Each structure stands twice: as C-alpha cells, then as structure tokens.
Structure 1
Amino acid sequence: MQPAVEVSENALTERQKDVLDAALTLLVEAGDTLTMTSVARRASCSKESLYKWFGDRDGLLTATVQWQAAKVRGVPVDPEAFSLTSLTSGLERFASDWLRVLSGTISVALNRVAVGHAGSDKHDLGAIVLENGPFAMARRLKPLLQLGRDTGLMSFDDTDEAFRTFFGLVVRDVQIRLLLGDRFELTEAAINRDARRATQQFLALYGVHTKAADDGH
C-alpha cells in the first residue's frame, strides 16, 4: 500500500518527518518487529495519526523507505542551460548522495531486514525496498541520462543498461561489504573522491566528448 502522503522533502510536514525518522530508528533497533504501536510510542503521536498519514503498516514501511531514499537528491534538468559541466556535476552529486545514504547505519539495517524478508515467507519489506530504493534511484537519474544523450554529450542504446553501469561504478562492493558486517567507514573525502571516480569512469564509457578526446579528435 502506498502512503497517504507524498513522501518528499517538500510534501512532508516537520511532524511527519520526525515520525518517519523515529520509524527508521526503530527499524535499526528492532528490525521487522516494528509495529504501528511502537512507532506511535517512540514518536509520541497517536496511532490514528499514523493511519491517517500512512495507511496501514505497509504504507508506513513504504513511506519510511521513501523518506530514506529521498536523501539522494534528484538532479534538476534544464535543457536550456545543459552542458558537459552540468552533466558531470549532476552525476557527481547524485553519486555522493547515494554513497552517503547507502553507507549509513540506517540503510545498512534496512537492507539487512529486507534481505531477510526476501529469503522467507515475508516479502513486503524486500519488495518495498527494491521498488523505492534501486528502482526509485533509476527513475530519478534517467532524465539526466536521457538529456545527456539527447544533447549529444553521451551515447548509449539503452537507458536502463546505462543506469546499471553507473550503479555498479558507484556502489562497487560497498553495499555487500557493509551488509556482511565489514566495519569500514566512508569519510566525506572518500565519498567525494569515489563519486568523482565513478563519474569519470562512466563518462569514459558513454561520454561522446571524452571518447573523442581519447581518440585524439
């Protein structure tokens, strides 16, 4: 079930953001034992408010995952002022946001619970995370990729394939290492460095100007 409110930075009230932050904290602490009652208690709000805002438990879980994913900012697309510089900066910002969220304690805990659901009879959170995590990231980045292609800055046949390539270059083995308990820390400097590296590698594969420079044209 989709939440009753649109989950984005601008659509939520401060109170609703506090509730979703409380739900995320509970997911870290309690995993899939999260209930409407426990969230209401932790957030000091009524269950009636939760049902009004988010519908049932699946709606609350969906809103919680969407709220976490919303921390990866979308990239504004302005065809009138689009250039290789804006394409590069957009990709770098998206990649750094993605790494920052992905490596956080909340995302690691959320993904661990979702993986557990996928391997059992409980499929709700796994499907919710898949739809509102990686799939949502793809929907958010595709307009930038398509504009890059339409303006001749990039060349690729399939937008989905291009996104999956970018996904691999950005995420690498970071997510699986964190899920398996590796306690390495991504500093801000490392995140920004890795975002730049992933963007450079991606443009080396798909960037028309980059390919031309490499060919000596």
Structure 2
Amino acid sequence: MDGKKHFDLCLWVYVPRNFKATDVIKNMIETIKAKEGPSNNYPFTPLEALSTELRRLSGSKKLLLVLDDFWSDTKDFDNQWDKFIGCLSSCSPETRILLTTQSNNVSQLAMKVEVHVLKELEEGQFSELFMHHAWPSNSHLRKEEFEKVGKKIAVKLKGDPGAAKLVGRQLRVELDLDHWKKVAEKDWLGDDMKARIWSYQQLPQHLHRCFAICSLFPKRSFD
C-alpha cells in the first residue's frame, strides 16, 4: 500500500526506550519540518507548546504515524500515552498509528489495536536472506560451496533477521571458505547480542575507537 495515496502526511518516528510524550511529539515536529526543507532541531519546550506547534503544522490532516521500536518500560506509561494521544486530537479521525514492537505488553497498554504478529521465515527463505547479505553479486568464486556452509550458519542464527544481516555482511568481506566453516562451528550464533559482539570483534582496531566515540551519543542520534 502506498501511504501517500491514502494519507495527507506520513511520518516515521523512532521511539526512545523511555517513552515520553514530549520526546515523541518533538521528533514528529522535526520530521515534518525536515520534509519542508532543511531546518535546525526544534528546541525542547513544555508539552503544551509542542502540542500547539504540532497542531499548527499538521492541522486537521489525515496522518499515518509509524512509531518504530516501541516499548512500554516507562513507569508512568499510561499517563505519558494519554498526553501523547491528546496532542493528536486535532488530527483527522482517519489518522492511523502503526506500532512496531518486540514487546507483547504494548498492545495491551497502548490502546485497542489489531495485532499482526510477524511469523518467522521458513528455513529456505531465511537461508536466502542470509546469502543475500553474505554473497556479493560480482564474486567469481563458486557460490555453491559457500551456500552449503551458509545454510549451516543460517540454521544457527535461528531465524533472526538482525543476526543474518550482521553476520552475513561481515562474511561478505571475507570470502574464504575455511573462515566460513569456522564461523559455522560456533554455537552462539542464535544469540543476536553475541552475533553483534562477534561482528564488532571482526572490525579493524581503528574502527573500534570510532564505535567507542559513537557510544557517547544517545541511540539513533544520527538518524
């Protein structure tokens, strides 16, 4: 579905783990302003002022709002959510909110929703996804040999798309069959965090320092 055909304004907003109405509304305002042209970050202001600015920018438009990576860990989540929904009161009744989340609790806390649970890919589909990330299209090596090992690695990733991308892209730069076989022997690949650590460990030392600097900034600061 092309959202632009059905909605006046489509917004994709990353939601901080500690959900606060002011943070999300501020992100929405900055996203709208970015669509209009280059702009500076919107200054942090009280919720009432943010709500007024959002109302000015969105008017009574029909919105498609995607709240990505949504969690409900905040202690006063219900209060924060009510404040957030209140700020959208001027929007069209046909406005729709799409939440993406890894938490089973969000749909119970946020509102009455229609839940769509993404099923795991079938084994063959997941192997194809892994090889898509792991195998460069311009390689002249025999793909069949690597595919056999790649299927073993994919099984150990246990259907985790994030791990498939991380491990696959790392193997993509080292098309050595013996190296792939060593990776296939590892037992921890089903753990996404361990897959991330392994991917990090394969980087050159000078890039380790770059990641150390990036860790000083809040998550998604570079979006």
TM-score (norm 2): 0.28
* Higher strand residue share: 2
* Higher helix residue share: 1
Which structure has the higher relative contact order (CA within 8 Å, separation 6+)?
A: 1
* Structure having the higher Rg: 2
